[in-house]
């Protein structure tokens, strides 16, 4: 199946990153969200990220211009899904929200179109039930930041066809990504391993075993992780980490997946990481060189 025209539903951090990636690799992109304010902010972010690539000589000025030209904004989901070959939803990690989006994707996109989810933990097989094309529903889990990270985790639902998998593998390679296939299981592979590790780092911090700086440096220097788990939690968003832990805890019915009380408190207090300006680190002065968040400074160990 030839895929040329794509729709990206949701223009947040992951959505605009996915739109950026498709447009940079010669796909026409309909970027869909509920308001022009959100869409304009998304395009500003895409422009900033393109400028970073340009500064590092990763792209040319012509490629930057053409990338932006290939993206069309839509606040009407029906219009945005007309004549697309592929649509991916990148909305909040809620089954209630996603099932409504999948119903609309199925109703408004051509019958030939493949429908994908960028979900971090929700069952692809369950999302497929809200369509009349279960064989064409698949998980396509991009990593953040999308233009940089080389992996796409491909999730095969119970009724996802081999043809759909092949098409999405080829599509991933056209984006210069490596597709790796996993079965439909809570958290898949990436988040089933990663998010509990982050949760355990948060729990160790809450118990006073060590500080933010020390925990992150131990994992960087001792385990060769490029980023410590607490800094990574801020990048992902603590609210997203909490949502995934709740799904794992509910689906596996095992308390080893129980969210840390500190994680719950941070989210309730709106300390959700980079997007809020503060999480375990304080990004309000410098996003690239943050300081330890005030509440975690000078803790005695």
Give the closest residue to 78 by CA, choosing from 165, 9, 159, 179. 9
Residue 154, strand partner residues = 140, 181
Verify that 174 and 200 share a domain, yes or no: no
Is 120 labeled as catalytic in the residue annotation?
yes
Supply the pLDDT for residue 299. Answer: 64
Per annotation, catalytic residue among 16, 117, 118, 120: 120
d(CA 110, CA 82): 7
Instruction: Establish whether 79 is a catalytic residue.
Output: no
Torsion of CA 156, 162, 168, 173, to 10 degrees: 110
What is the domain range of residue 13? 5-183
Instruction: Please check whether residues 28 and 156 belong to one and the same domain.
Output: yes
pTM score: 0.91
In a domain, 233, yes or no: yes
| Tally of domains in the chain | 2
The number of residues making up the chain comes to: 301
pLDDT tens for each residue of 241-257: 999 999 999 999 999 99
Q: Which of 158, 183, 208 is the last residue of a domain?
A: 183
Active-site annotation holds for 249: no
Token reading at 128: 């497929």
Q: What is the C-alpha end-to-end distance of the chain, expressed in Å?
A: 58
Contacts of 10 (CB under 8 A, 6+ apart): 32, 33, 89, 90, 91
**Domain boundary pick from 183, 215, 237:** 183
Pick the catalytic residue from 141, 172, 243, 249: 141
pLDDT digits (tens, 9 = 90+) for 31-68: 999 999 999 999 999 999 999 999 999 999 999 999 99
Q: Which residue reads 């429908």 in tokens?
A: 115
- The active-site residue out of 153, 167, 243, 293 is 153
pLDDT in tens, 5-35: 999 999 999 999 999 999 999 999 999 999 9
Q: Which of 136, 151, 183 is the last residue of a domain?
A: 183
Rounded to whole angstroms, the Cα distance separating 301 from 293 reads: 17
| Catalytic residue check, 191 | yes
* pLDDT (0 to 100) of residue 298: 75
Look at residue 97 and tell me if it is in a domain: yes
Encode pLDDT of 70-105 as tens digits. 999 999 999 999 999 999 999 998 999 999 999 999
On whether both 229 and 259 belong to a single domain, the answer is: yes
Residues 179 and 283 grouped into a single domain? no
Q: For residue 123, which of 87, 151, 99 has the smallest C-alpha distance?
A: 99
Task: Measure Cα distances from 127 to 7, 67, 141, 147, 228 in Å.
Answer: 18, 31, 14, 26, 33
- Which residue in 191, 199, 243, 293 is the catalytic one? 191
């Amino acid at each position: 199946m030839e895929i040329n025209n794509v729709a990206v539903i949701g223009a947040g951090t992951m959505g605009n990153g996915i739109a950026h990636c498709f447009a940079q690799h010669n796909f026409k992109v309909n970027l869909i969200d509920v308001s022009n304010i959100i869409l304009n902010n998304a395009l500003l972010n895409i422009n900033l990220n393109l400028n970073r690539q340009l500064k590092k000589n990763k792209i040319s000025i012509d490629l930057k211009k053409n990338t932006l030209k290939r993206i069309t904004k839509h606040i009407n989901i029906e219009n945005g899904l007309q004549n697309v070959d592929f649509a991916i939803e990148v909305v909040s990690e809620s089954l209630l929200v996603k099932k409504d989006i999948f119903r609309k994707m199925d109703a408004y996109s051509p019958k030939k179109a493949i429908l994908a989810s960028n979900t971090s933990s929700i069952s692809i097989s369950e999302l497929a039930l809200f369509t009349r094309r279960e064989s064409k529903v698949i998980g396509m889990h991009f990593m953040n930041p999308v233009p940089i990270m080389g992996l796409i985790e491909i999730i095969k639902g119970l009724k996802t066809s081999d043809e759909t998998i092949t098409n999405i593998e080829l599509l991933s390679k056209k984006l210069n990504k490596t597709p790796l296939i996993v079965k439909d299981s809570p958290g898949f592979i990436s988040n089933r391993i990663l998010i509990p590790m982050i949760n355990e780092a948060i729990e160790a911090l809450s118990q006073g075993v060590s500080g933010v700086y020390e925990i992150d440096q131990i994992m960087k220097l001792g385990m060769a992780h490029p980023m410590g788990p607490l800094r990574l939690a801020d990048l992902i968003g603590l609210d997203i980490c909490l949502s995934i832990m709740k799904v794992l805890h509910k689906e596996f019915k095992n308390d080893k997946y129980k969210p840390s009380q500190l994680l719950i408190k941070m989210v309730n207090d709106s300390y959700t990481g980079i997007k809020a300006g503060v999480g375990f680190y304080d990004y309000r002065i410098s996003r690239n060189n943050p300081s330890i968040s005030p509440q975690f400074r000078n803790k005695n160990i």
